[in-house]
Structure 1
Amino acid sequence: MRIHIDKLSIRSTTEEDWEILKTVRLESLLESPNAFSATYSTTELYSELQWRDRAAHKTQYHYILALNGQRAIGIIGGKQSTELEFGLIAMWVNPEFRGNGIADMLINAIKKLAISKGHFRIALSVSQDNIRAINLYSKHGFSCIADWENSSINARPRNQKMECVELDRVIPKFA
């Protein structure tokens, strides 16, 4: 489905976006449950205050939304990890809107956010079976590293860790 770019906006969440954030995050977990370490059953239990804090960046998380008018059609998040790297989390685009470059815009937005916070390295964890995601991240300068993470869901295989360094060199000038 092609969308009109004039209706599309990519922006960080604010506290007022807590319900939008909650809706799109739960939608992503229902649609792609094997793509995330978070689960729907755990995430749906967050309180309004927890959602408000997440949307307002009062926690370690920072979320960016892709909006088509007032409807959230994509999400990406970032967080500071213990390794002092910026971690890419929660990347998802509604299947109706895939193939329109929204994932590219979300990844570029999170890279810019990481740079603005003083990071030159961003890392993520992806299922080794999710070839489409691995290809997308590779297109954006991420490469697989010799580091694996165990999935929090025991039935799933370990996740491949990918990283992108020198972020300012891998963001297209037109982004």
Structure 2
Amino acid sequence: MLDAVQIREVLEDDWQMVRDVRLRALREDPDAFGSSLAREEMFAENHWRMRLRSATTWVVDDGGTARGLVAMIQEPGSPTSDRHIVQLWVAPEARRQGKAWALLDAVWSAAKSQGAETVSLWVADGNHAAGDLFVRAGFERTTERHARSRDESQTEERLVLRIG
């Protein structure tokens, strides 16, 4: 199913592609993210470029159209042996075709090559599709929870994958 598409790491000059797919993700699945469409629509080019300089990012590139993305960062305050996944999303028409798995594989490979021992992420309580995907991918649920920054009445849980 991944024959016609490519998972590729994007660089700063790909900021428009990343912006477009990120805004689509926020438009179509607004409750899955800690940010909002209104907030990110205000970002200028320099903000998108800065994001790509500070996070390793991959897209599902379908002939020049991004149909998914994921980014990996060194989360502030986390151990240096951990890499953190942010903004994993796949477009509805591209789901259930292995693209999320391929994006996770890109993160796993990069984290491992950097000597990381774990990969972690936060999943909003109630986002069962994402939680199930990550558990199937080998992530373990933790008891670590906190209020979501965008809406403190909602919580999210940290999941961790041991790779080292």
**What is the distance in 1 between the residues matched to 2:35 and 2:113?**
26
Q: CA deviation at 1:15?
A: 1.9
**What is the distance in 1 between the residues matched to 2:108 and 2:96?**
20
Q: Is the 1:125–1:149 contact (alpha carbons within 8 Å) kept by the matching residues of 2?
A: no
Are residues 1:144 and 2:158 paired? no
Tell me how many residue pairs correspond in the alignment.
Answer: 161
Instruction: Map Cα deviations across residues 39-79 of structure 1 (whole Å, 9 max, x no partner).
Output: 11221222111212323xx22x2211011111100001111
Q: What residue ranges of structure 2 are gaps of 5+ in the alignment?
A: none
Q: CA deviation at 1:155?
A: 5.9
Q: Which of residues 63, 83, 86 in structure 1 aligns to 2:83?
A: 86
In the superposition, the TM-score normalised over structure 1's length comes to 0.86
Q: What residue ranges of structure 1 are gaps of 5+ in the alignment?
A: 168-175
Which amino acid in structure 1 is aligned with residue 67 of structure 2? I
**What is the distance in 2 between the residues matched to 1:138 and 1:39?**
26
Q: Which of residues 4, 26, 43 in structure 2 aligns to 1:46?
A: 43
**What is the distance in 2 between the residues matched to 1:138 and 1:97?**
20
Percentage of matched positions with identical amino acids: 27
Which amino acid in structure 1 is aligned with residue 15 of structure 2? W
Q: 1:8 to 1:156 in 2, by over 3 A?
A: farther
**RMSD (Å) for aligned C-alpha atoms:** 1.4
**What is the distance in 2 between the residues matched to 1:147 and 1:108?**
24
Q: Which portions of structure 1, spanning 4 or more consecutive aligned residues, are displaced by more than 6 angstroms?
A: none
**What is the distance in 1 between the residues matched to 2:152 and 2:12?**
35
The aligned residue for residue 66 of structure 1 is: 60
**What is the distance in 1 between the residues matched to 2:45 and 2:140?**
37
Which amino acid in structure 2 is aligned with residue 86 of structure 1? R
